[in-house]
């Protein structure tokens, strides 16, 4: 599959990607302006999502047809529940532990953005994907090197910068896709 085969789909979705990019950029600004609130908000949201998943596994346990499946689903449900309680009961510790997970996520995202750049490099404005990839990789490295962070606010600021980089990259690429002229080789 080459990029030309997905161009019609990308062009059709580009308006939504632009809207999503604007929303993401605004979230990045909010994360920089309110870093502590954003950091604790991330921990709270992830804790609630994990709790919901744990409850879903508990309900699914009663739908399984075997004892092994039932026990496995109960064990997974308990694990999710314990993780959710850990995140929701002690928000500061949650933020600190999520920092390492977010740092690894940013490192992997940066690597994938760089790989995407090499796939798109012949198109105009693909440089923004490279900038996003390098910036995200640098942010991931900064978070790993500063772990545990001296202050939980740094998490919100770095994630805010990452959101803004990704948003600009996506909006510029979506605008470029509307014309989609290959750059000279």
Percent of the chain residues topping a pLDDT of 70: 90
Lowest mean pLDDT: which of 41-50, 127-136, 139-148? 139-148
pTM across the whole model: 0.70
* pLDDT for the residue numbered 43: 86
Whether 2 shows a pLDDT value over 80: the answer reads no
pLDDT tens by residue, 99-121: 888 889 889 999 999 998 888 78
- Average pLDDT for residues 119-127, to the nearest whole number? 80
Highest mean pLDDT among 1-5, 90-94, 131-135, 175-179: 131-135
* pLDDT for the residue numbered 91: 82
State the Cα–Cα distance between residues 48 and 81, nearest whole angstrom.
Answer: 10
C-alpha angle 27-32-35 in degrees, rounded to nearest 5: 100
pLDDT band at 7 (very low <50, low <70, confident <90, very high): low
Whether 134 shows a pLDDT value over 90: the answer reads yes
Percent of the chain residues topping a pLDDT of 90: 32
* pLDDT for the residue numbered 6: 58
Q: What is the three-state SS of the chain?
A: CCHHHHHHHHHHHHHHHHHHHHHHHHHHHHHHHCHHHHHHHHHHHHHHHHHHHHHHHHHHHCCCCCHHHHHHHHHHHHHHHHHHHHHHHCHHHHHHHHHHHHHHHHHHHHHHHHHHHHHHCCECCCHHHHHHHHHHHHHHHHHHHCCCCCCCHHHHHHHHHHHHHHHHHHHHHHHHHCCCCECCC
pLDDT tens by residue, 9-40: 666 777 888 899 999 999 999 999 999 898 88
User: Could you tell me how far CA 116 lies from the centroid of its own chain?
Assistant: 16
* pLDDT for the residue numbered 173: 79
pLDDT tens by residue, 61-87: 888 878 888 888 899 999 999 989 988
Spatial contact of 98 and 46, defined as CB atoms under 8 Å apart: yes
């Amino acid at each position: 599959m080459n990029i030309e085969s997905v161009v019609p789909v990308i062009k059709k979705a580009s308006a939504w990607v632009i809207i999503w990019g604007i929303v993401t950029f605004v979230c990045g600004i909010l994360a920089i302006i309110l870093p502590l609130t954003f950091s604790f908000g991330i921990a709270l949201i992830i804790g609630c999502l994990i709790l919901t998943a744990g409850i879903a596994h508990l309900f699914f346990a009663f739908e399984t047809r075997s004892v092994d499946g039932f026990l496995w689903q109960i064990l997974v449900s308990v694990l999710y529940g314990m993780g959710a309680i850990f995140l929701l009961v002690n928000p500061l510790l949650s933020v600190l532990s999520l920092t390492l997970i977010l740092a690894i996520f940013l490192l992997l995202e940066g690597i994938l953005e760089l790989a995407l750049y090499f796939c798109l490099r012949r198109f105009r404005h693909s440089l923004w994907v490279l900038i996003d990839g390098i910036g995200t990789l640098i942010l991931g490295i900064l978070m790993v090197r500063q772990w545990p962070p001296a202050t939980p606010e740094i998490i919100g600021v770095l994630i805010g910068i990452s959101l803004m980089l990704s948003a600009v990259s996506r909006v510029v690429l979506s605008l470029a896709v509307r014309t989609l002229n290959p750059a000279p080789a």
